[in-house]
Amino acid sequence: MHTLTMTAKEQPVIERALVIHILGVISALEHRSITIEEAETLWFCREVTTLLQRKAIRHEIVHILQLGRELRQIEKLIPHAVPKSLHDMRTLATNWLISNDTKIVTTVWQ
């Protein structure tokens, strides 16, 4: 069971931290240092997207995770499309970080 507790004041910082972590997973997939299955256990699973939706995490972030949930199917059906999917996810995450420039000044994971 996953849990996430935050105040409205903490939400922008937690969202930024989530996107930074998601970018790390995307990078690891691009470099083949982790598998899609491992990425699914970290972020790209229904339980995580459902939890984040319930906590009102921004739709753009949940959308990136939902794209990640599609990677296994893409890998099975059109393996050569996985790098483009990862690139698209990276672009969405990077653009989100650029447009949401809340700075992380203290630890987020308490």
Sketch the domain layout of the chain as residue ranges: 11-97
Q: Which two tokens stand for residue 90?
A: 């990276």
pTM for the full predicted model: 0.87
**Per-residue pLDDT at 4:** 60
**Per-residue pLDDT at 1:** 47
Q: Which two tokens stand for residue 89?
A: 């996810």
Q: Give which of 39, 34, 28, 31 is closest to 71, Cα–Cα.
A: 39
**Per-residue pLDDT at 27:** 98
Dihedral angle, C-alpha 100, 60, 2, 56, nearest 10 °: 80
Gap between the Cα atoms of 30 and 8, Å rounded: 33
pLDDT 10s digit of each residue in the chain, 110 long? 455 666 667 788 889 999 999 999 999 999 999 999 999 999 999 999 999 999 889 999 999 999 999 999 999 999 999 999 999 999 999 999 999 988 877 776 66
Q: How far is CA 5 from CA 41, 42, 68, 77, in A?
A: 20, 18, 24, 38
**Per-residue pLDDT at 98:** 94
